Homo-oligomer: A and B are copies of this chain.
């Protein structure tokens, strides 16, 4: 390897000047164990109870939202969900804001990932970018939405697809990385 090539140094604290957790250590600690014992354990299957708890921790959630057990949400205080949306057992790594509109569906084992690292820096800085799902979006089972992606209204990410760029409205995306395969026509 040429000697001029730099190496990453994870020992150094990475730059987090653009990253704010947004909750006290007490709130973080309490949420950690509520998430562990009540949400990820699956012990509480009632959507109403799960929604209530999320709101207590600062989530903004509309009416008639269904939350399934076993769901993972990093920080409820960085989560917004509109009305009539469904969140199955999915993985929401919302280091940054995740904003979900009305009538959205996030299926089983889908991932919404807001965190990235700057692999061009030796300090491997954390980079976070929000994810926005507009109304009527469907993120299919095992699918992944990458940091900063905007899924425009009524876009669909099919099973296992990986959205690395914004999704156009009323469009179906498939593959890794996801590409548009057809329009979504709704009767």
A-to-B contact residues, CB < 8 Å: 1, 5-11, 32, 36, 40-43, 45, 64, 69-70, 83-86, 91, 93, 103-105, 108-109, 111, 113, 117, 119-122, 124, 135-136, 138, 141-142, 144, 146, 153-154, 156, 159-162, 164, 169-170, 172, 174-177, 184-187
Q: Which of A42, A84, A91, A169 has the most CB of B within 10 A?
A: A42
Residue of B nearest to A108 (CB): B93
Chain B positions within 8 Å of A160 at CB level: 144, 162, 176
A187 in contact with B41 given A111-B141, A142-B144, A160-B176 (CB within 8 Å): no
A11 and B187 in contact, given A91-B108, A162-B159 (Cβ under 8 angstroms): no
A159: which of B32, B84, B109, B146 is its contact (CB, 8 Å)? B146
| Complex contacts, A142 vs chain B, CB 8 Å | 111, 113, 144, 162
Q: A5-B186, A43-B36, A83-B11 are in contact. Are A117 and B105 (CB under 8 A)?
A: yes
The interface residues of chain B lying within 8 Å CB-to-CB of A185 are 120
**Given A119-B156, A162-B160, A184-B119, A8 contacting B136 (CB threshold 8 A):** yes
Complex Cα gap A96–B7 (Å): 28
A122 and B84 contact, CB distance less than 8 A: no
Are A11 and B103 in touch, CB under 8 angstroms?
A: yes
Bound Cα distance A162, B40 (Å): 26
- CB neighbours (8 Å) of A162 from chain B are 142, 159-160
List B contacts of A109 (CB < 8 A). Answer: 91, 111
Q: A40-B42, A144-B159, A159-B144 are in contact. Are A135 and B184 (CB under 8 A)?
A: no
